[in-house]
Amino acid sequence: METSLTRRTLLKTIGLTAGTSAMYHAMAMLGHAQASTFSGPPVLSPAKPGTRVVILGAGLAGLLAAYELRKAGYEVRILEYQNRAGGRNWTLRGGDSYTELGGHTQQVKFAKGNYFNPGPWRIPYHHRAVLHYCKQLGVPLEAAVQFNHNAYLHSTRAFNGKPQRLREVWSDLQGSVAELLAKAAQESELDLALGDVERDQLLQALKGWGLLDDEYRYRSSLYTAVRRGYATPQGGGVVDPPTAGPLLELKQLLHPAVWQGLNALLVYNAQDTMFQPVGGIDQITAGFMRALPDLDIRYNARVTHISQTEQEVKVTYEDTRGDGTAQVTADWCICTIPLNILGQIEVQASQPMLAAVRAVPYTGFTKVALEFRRRFWEEDDGIYGGNTLTDQDIDLIAYPPHGMMSDGPAVLIGAYATSMAKTLRLTGMSPQERIETALAQGEKIHPQYRKEFLSGVAVSWYRVPWMLGCRARWSNEARKAHYDALSAINGRLVLAGDHISYMPGWMEGALLSSLDAIQRLHQRVQAG
C-alpha cells in the first residue's frame, strides 16, 4: 500500500514520532502513564489490641496490606481462592499444569531453569513502590531490555512484509522528516514566527538531528551509517572498508503501521531502564511470604457473601475442594478481589459502591511463551533482549534478557496481544491453536521457528478462571462517575487493588492502592 506525502501526513508523523510530551499527556488522561506517588512505606501507630482485619485475596495488594498491618499489630487473616498466593504475580515452570476456563489443560514442558510469566513481567524504573519492597524483601532484580535497536519492526502492509531492523526504521524516519522540515524552513513554508537567526538555528539543529548533509539532504553515506548501521560492517586487518546500505523509502516509513509501532517503544511505562525479578515474577510473592512465615492464609476459599454491621464484618466462603462452607468474622475487611469477580458476589454495601463494582469492564490480554532448542535470535540475528513489533495478531516477540549467550533451550514470549480484536481472536482458539498461530506468524520474522521449536504455553486472560480478564478498563466517564464511590471506606469494608488506581494492570497500581487503603483504614480505626 502506497502512502502519498502530504503536509497533513508529514505533520501527523512528526507529532507522533517526536511529540512524546503530547502523547504522554493523552495517555495520562486514560490512566496509562502516571508516575508513581510512592514516597516511602507507611508509618502506622500501634493498632488497638485485638483489632482483626480479614483480607480477601492474596495477590500483591493483599500481601502488602497484611505485611504493613501486621507490623502495626493488627490480627490479620487472608482468604484466597487459589491454592497459592500471588494472584497475577504468577510464573509457570516445567512440571506445572494450568487448566483454563473451558477445560483445556496445559502441561508445561520447559527445561529446568526456564519459565514464563503470564501476567506482569517488567518493572519500570519509576515504579518506586515495587522497587522499594523488592529491596526490602530481598528480591534480587536484573535489567529487562525493552528497546533493542537490532530487533525488528514488521508489518504485513509495509516493506513488502519484510521485517526491518528498528535502528534502520528509526534512523531513516528521523532523517527523512528532518530533511522535509529543513526544506520547508528554507522555503519559508512553515507557519512559524521565526527570525533569520532562529531559522538558521533550526536548520542546524535539523541537520544534526537528522544526520543531513551540507545540502540538508538525508542520503545514504558513512555519516548516516553511524546511526543506522552498515551494509559492509567495520572490520579490522585486511578487509573491505565499511559501506552504507540503501535507505528505506519514505512512503513506507510514513505508513501508520510503522510509526504506530515506534510509538509503542516510547510509552512511559515501557521505557528503559526496566527490571525483572531474577528467576520469575513470582519471586516478589516469595519475598512477602518469607517476611510473613506465620501468616494465616486460608487457601481454596471462594468468597460467596460479605455482610457487615456497625460493629463487625462477616465473610462467608466455601472450600473449592468440597469441604463445605465457613465464615470469618473480623472488625474490618480489605477486599482485593477483581471487580468482575466481586460483582458476582453478594456484598452488603452502599448502592453507589455496588454500582461502581459493576460499571468497570475488564480487558483480556493473550500471551504465548515458546521454548526453542537454542537462542537463535542471539546466535543468528544478534538480538539480545528487547522486543520485535508486528501488526499481526501476536503483536510482539519479547526476547529474554536473562541467560544471554548461554547454551541449551530458552523461552521467549512469542505473542503478547493487547488490542481487543486481536486478543479476542486468540481467546477463541484452543491453547494449541494459539501456539500454532504464534509459530505461523513468528516465522515470518524468524524462519528458524519451526526447526528450533520444542514446546509452548498459551494464556488468554479472559479464560483464566480466577480473573476472567487481565485488568480493569477504565474510561474517563467511568472514573468521574464511580471512582470515588469505589475507593471510599464503606462501613467496615474498603476495596484495594490495581483496579482502584490510575495504573490498572501494573503491580505499582496494586501496591499504591493497598497502601492508601490501609492508611485510611488505620486512621478510621484510631479515630473510632
What are the tens digits of pLDDT across the range 390-441? Answer: 999 999 999 999 999 999 999 999 999 999 999 999 999 999 999 999 999 9
User: Tell me, what's the pLDDT at 255?
Assistant: 85
For 144, the grid coordinates are 529487562
Percent of the chain with pLDDT over 90: 74
Cα distance between residue 482 and residue 499, in whole Å: 12
pLDDT per residue as tens digits for the range 476-493: 999 999 999 999 999 999
Pick among 3.40.50.720, 3.50.50.60, 3.10.20.30, 3.30.390.30: CATH of 52-86+303-361+475-527: 3.50.50.60
Closest CA to 147 of 383, 501, 393: 383
The more confident residue out of 36 and 517 is: 517
Closest CA to 178 of 49, 14, 395, 61: 14
User: Tell me, what's the pLDDT at 39?
Assistant: 84
**pLDDT exceeds cutoff 70 at 66:** yes
Q: What length is written for the chain? A: 528
For residue 205, the Cα-to-chain-centroid distance in whole angstroms is 35
0.85 cut: is pTM over it? yes
pLDDT per residue as tens digits for the range 202-227: 888 888 889 999 999 999 999 898 88
Query: What residue segments make up the domains of the chain, in order of their start?
Result: 7-12+166-254, 52-86+303-361+475-527, 92-150+272-281+365-463
**pLDDT exceeds cutoff 50 at 501:** yes
The more confident residue out of 69 and 181 is: 69
Give one DSSP letter per residue of 421-464, joined into a string. HHHHHHHTS-HHHHHHHHHHHHTTT-TTHHHHEEEEEEEEGGG-
pLDDT-derived band at 77, boundaries 50, 70, 90: very high
Residue carrying C-alpha cell 519471586: 283
For 163, the grid coordinates are 521485517
Closest CA to 122 of 143, 136, 138: 143
What is the dotted CATH code of the domain comprising 92-150+272-281+365-463? Answer: 3.90.660.10
**7-12+166-254 has CATH 1.20.1440.240 classification:** yes
Q: Does the CA dihedral 35-37-39-43 come out positive or negative?
A: negative
For strands 230-232 and 164-165, give the pairing.
unpaired
